[in-house]
Structure 1
Amino acid sequence: MENPPMVYKSNALVEAAYRLSVQEQRIILACIGQVRRDEQITDEVLYSVTAADLANLSGMAVSDAYKELKEAALRLKRREVRLTQEPNGKGKKPKVMITGWVQTIFYIEGEGRVELRFTKDMLPYLTDLQREFTRYALSDVAKMTSAHGIRLYELLAQWPDGHREVALNDLRRWLQLEDRYPSIKDFKLRVLDPAVAQINEHSPLAVTWEQRKTGRKVTHLTFTFGPKKPTKAAGKAPRKTTERRKGGKLSEAEMQALARPGETWEQLHARLNQTSAEVD
């Protein structure tokens, strides 16, 4: 069985300020899922995605995916990303880099296919990631119809311990909402509640949240999340899974299936070893 496409992003990119439509995000994430992590990548590599690919991922009709793919491709070239670069020395201030996602994008008429090259500035945030990165399966977000839901899922996947507090101003900046939905009531109605509902419906996570006030003003949102509870099966679970974990014979695909969103390989190995010890 073919391994599911995985999305790898540096944490700086996850917390970058940008706004993409759902279809634009699907194109970008489908191409990120094709980036090789076992070899040097240059900005000359072309990544390809078709309307059929997107329809298969999202569950939408191919005809709808065909139309949206072309419209999204035309917009992607103009989309900007604002990335904060931390200073390398004392006394230096952070720099904000404004760059684009793609340097070149092709739409192939009659094939319903897009080809794109990532910008040279974007590649370090997608390749050669040894630390401080977020990883999840493309299928975790592919069926979401909320662009904010996809972004919020990534922000939660950064924290595999299942708890994250986010300053409301930071979340507004990351989503590039500027002055939209200034009241917390409108923000919940238009952004937060739909995003959480999408995560709970379409992703492997179950999420709850609460607000925190500073004085009388809501300033922070606290999210609690974890893997959805599997449907209980009749009888006792077979011991074979645990024995295979102890023997270290799990394939990469099986490891990816067992990994929690945002969990590194080292954390996954430690958790599985602990589980095996507890069973014994």
Structure 2
Amino acid sequence: MRDFTWDPEQYSVFADRRARPFRDLVGRVRATDPKVVVDLGCGPGNMTATLAERWPGARVTGLDSSADMVASARERASAPGAPENLHFEQVDAQRWAPGPEVDVVVSNAMLQWIPDHRRLVAGWLDGLRPGAWFAVQVPGNFEAPSHATMAELSRRPEYAAVLEGVMERESVYTPQEYLETLIAAGFEADVWETTYSQPLTGEDPVYDWVRGAALRPSLQRLEEADRRDGTNLLERYVQEYKRIMRASYPTYVTPDGVRLTDYPFRRIFVVGVKNDLAPSI
């Protein structure tokens, strides 16, 4: 899945805005008294904690392949006042399978990192018991300037060798394909998409947003190349990316002088409950 290093601190810079799709996703999960809840790709664990608070009678476990993310999440779980039913483990989602005791599976902005993840999801759905819930959110912004520019820059001669294959990591399916996957597994499904209009502040807010997630693999590759070969690719790439973002996304000035950059972000939501043994969604 991911072989690059995650930075929990940078990922959390826009924590509130990154949390909104998660809240909208789990708001559609109608499980009333689950005993086992799993958050796949839990990141720094801030949103996993909300699951533990919502279902205090459940064992809530956050799983992530990043050691840094899990360490940050465990630190959060050990803080005073943290839910006692909250746990974190370092697990690669591609090697995970739900046991018969799992009642709810949540995955927020993680599956796009796994090629051909529709097949993986089908296996998870098959392993879930009747009445179990499955809820997934993935970004659908790959044609937007913020993401299309990453792909375009990766093909330029000066970066192509270093960034070969890096943009092949992220991929999502259409809402219809996700719907078909759940229905084929015997789920009552609810699939929708939302574009969030996000006014961001700062000198280069779009760059600051994507460098915490989507741009991370490219930046790491470039940084490694600079250390290995004595080049200056990372700085050149970042400056060019920032320039294109400033030209691609409009900036507004509020009456009180605050500069805002409008950054729309499309998300795809998939929620389902296995057969008709749980409340209709």
TM-score interval for Structure 1 and Structure 2 normalised by the shorter chain: under 0.3
Query: What TM-score, normalized by structure 1, do the two folds share?
Result: 0.27
* TM-score computed with the length of structure 2 as normaliser: 0.27
